[in-house]
């Protein structure tokens, strides 16, 4: 039920954070990192991205929507854009 979903989310959040942090180390300078989930929950999307961008590991990264993408991006918190 609902408790199982909350428990699963609590397990997934640190894993998603680890994957994002780890992937950021593998991108060559000038490369592109795309963070994608199959969730609409802010905790798994915007919150993860915000935590990464404000961390020591992510403070040099910039959120720049690709210009060659056919779907419009929405403005997120702090003027960042994201696909929803």
Among residues 36, 38, 71, 75, the one annotated as catalytic is 38
Cα distance between residue 27 and residue 74, in whole Å: 25
Catalytic residue status for 38: yes
Helices (H) and strands (E) in the chain, counts: 2, 2
Active-site positions?
38
């Amino acid at each position: 039920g609902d408790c199982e979903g909350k428990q699963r989310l609590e397990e997934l959040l640190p894993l998603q954070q680890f994957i994002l942090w780890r992937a950021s180390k593998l991108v060559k300078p000038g490369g592109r990192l795309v963070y994608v989930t199959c969730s609409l929950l802010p905790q798994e999307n915007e919150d993860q991205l915000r935590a990464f961008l404000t961390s020591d590991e992510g403070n040099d990264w910039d959120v720049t929507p690709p210009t060659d993408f056919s779907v419009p991006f929405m403005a997120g918190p702090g003027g960042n854009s994201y696909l929803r």
